[in-house]
């Protein structure tokens, strides 16, 4: 039985990966929070700071790791967050490399799975589905830190220090109980109403949390090469328009039924300019928020599908229970 270290194991994504994998693998769950009631599963749990090398060394000396699934990191924050670019860089980039270097000293054949983000591409104003080989233009400190981590991992692979690397660029992740990544595109403040920005026909790629965990399991079980470096856009099978998301939410028992109001994109653009002047130094981040509302954010998932993986879950199956698996 393979032994897997999962960092960020009590987070929204990490917790689900632990639940998915513990029946087939020995799971070492590592997080700042050592245990939570909902994590009362047969995991081996370690509490600790990802920035503290001693905590990682302790795990590596006690267990022979075969795979690392690195979920830990700082996610996107609001414009008024006290976090700066150095904070993202320290946790999302440097801690990733520190973790890998420690693990490699114990097992040079480690399979390292890094959870990145489609935000590394930057905003896409031409509406074309972006492929893994596209040039990246990260526009936020979060996206830049993820891109920097990717680049460092790839350099380590090119130098043959790291032999097995999967970089997963995740579309906005959701499930029925947590869908903030979708809500930001279709709700007004405090969910007082649904908001249709412009025509509402803007398309976005999405990712069911279950589709993500199933893809990771698929990669582990079907990987028999001794030397690889793969980057995947991980998404649901098809993208959705903002209008479709609103309609699915309205029919869902998990989201409130509210009136829908339409706001012209020109008005949003004016608000963007005003906010950029108020939050000096955050203008690039604020502009990226506008782009997420105004343009298509779709990502080519052909490479993922070509692995033979079939992402069965959809917005309809998750929120409306129209499909059974």
Query: Looking at the domain assignment, is residue 277 inside a domain?
Result: no
Q: Does a structural domain hold residue 325?
A: no
Task: Output the domain CATH number for residue 89.
Answer: 3.40.50.720
28 domain residue, yes or no: yes
**pLDDT tens by residue, 76-98:** 765 546 678 899 999 999 999 99
Q: How confident is the model at residue 39 (pLDDT cuts 50, 70, 90)?
A: very low
Query: Whole domain around residue 79: which residue ranges?
Result: 3-171+208-235
Q: What percent of the chain has pLDDT over 90?
A: 70
User: How does residue 323 score in pLDDT terms, banded at 50, 70 and 90?
Assistant: very low
| Residue 200 maps to a domain | no
Instruction: Return the pLDDT at 35.
Output: 55
Angle at 240 between CA 9 and CA 252, to 5 degrees: 75
Average pLDDT over residues 108-120: 96
How far is residue 121's CA from residue 146's CA, in Å, rounded to a whole number? 10
Q: Is residue 325's pLDDT more than 50?
A: no
pLDDT value at 271 more than 60: yes
Strand order in the sheet with 44-47: 44-47, 26-31, 3-7, 67-70, 111-117, 164-170, 228-234
Residue 65: per-residue pLDDT: 96
Q: How many domains does the chain have?
A: 1
User: Residue 265 domain-assigned?
Assistant: no
Q: What is the pLDDT of residue 45?
A: 84
Residue 246, Cβ density class (10 Å: 0-12 exposed, 13-18 middle, ≥19 buried):
buried
Three-class SS state of 145: helix
Residue 319 lies inside a defined structural domain of this protein: no
Asked whether residue 81 is domain-assigned, the answer is yes
Max Cα-Cα span within the chain: 58
Residue 243 burial (CB count, 10 A): 17
**Mean pLDDT across the stretch 1-13?**
93
Rounded to two decimals, what is the model's pTM?
0.92
Q: What tokens appear for 235 in the block?
A: 């998404």
pLDDT of residue 34: 59
Q: Could you give the CA distance from residue 224 to residue 216 in angstroms, rounded to a whole number?
A: 14
What confidence score (pLDDT) does residue 78 get?
55
pLDDT at 292 over 80: yes
Instruction: Give CA separation, 176 vs 255, 293, 320, in Å.
Output: 9, 22, 9
CB 288 within 8 A of CB 139: yes
């Amino acid at each position: 039985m393979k032994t897997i270290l999962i960092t960020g194991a009590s987070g929204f994504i990490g917790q689900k990966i632990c639940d998915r994998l513990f029946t087939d693998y020995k799971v070492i769950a590592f997080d700042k929070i050592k245990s939570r009631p909902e994590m009362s599963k047969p995991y081996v749990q370690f509490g600790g700071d990802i920035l503290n090398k001693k905590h990682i060394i302790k795990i590596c000396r006690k267990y022979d790791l075969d795979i690392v699934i690195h979920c830990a990191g700082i996610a996107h924050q609001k414009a008024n967050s006290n976090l700066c670019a150095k904070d993202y860089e320290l946790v999302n980039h440097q801690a990733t490399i520190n973790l890998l270097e420690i693990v490699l000293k114990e097992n040079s054949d480690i399979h390292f799975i890094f959870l990145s983000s489609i935000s590394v591409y930057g905003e896409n104003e031409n509406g074309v589905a972006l492929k893994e080989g596209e040039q990246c233009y990260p526009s936020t400190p979060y996206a830049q830190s993820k891109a920097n981590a990717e680049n460092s991992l790839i350099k380590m692979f090119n130098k043959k220090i790291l032999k097995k690397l999967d970089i997963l660029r995740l579309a906005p992740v959701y499930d029925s109980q947590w869908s903030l990544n979708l809500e930001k595109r279709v709700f007004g403040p405090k969910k007082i109403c649904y908001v249709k920005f412009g025509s509402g026909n803007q398309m976005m790629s999405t990712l069911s949390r279950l589709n993500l965990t199933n893809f990771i399991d698929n990669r582990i079980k079907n990987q028999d090469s001794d030397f690889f470096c793969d980057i995947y856009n991980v998404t649901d099978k098809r993208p959705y328009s903002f209008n479709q998301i609103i309609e699915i939410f309205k029919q869902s028992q998990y989201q409130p039924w509210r009136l829908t109001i339409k706001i012209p994109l020109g008005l949003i653009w004016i608000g963007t300019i005003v906010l950029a002047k108020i939050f000096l130094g955050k203008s690039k981040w604020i502009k990226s928020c506008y782009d997420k509302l105004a343009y298509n954010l779709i990502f080519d998932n052909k490479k993922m599908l070509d692995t033979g993986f079939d992402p069965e879950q959809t917005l309809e199956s998750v929120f409306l229970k129209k499909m059974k698996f």
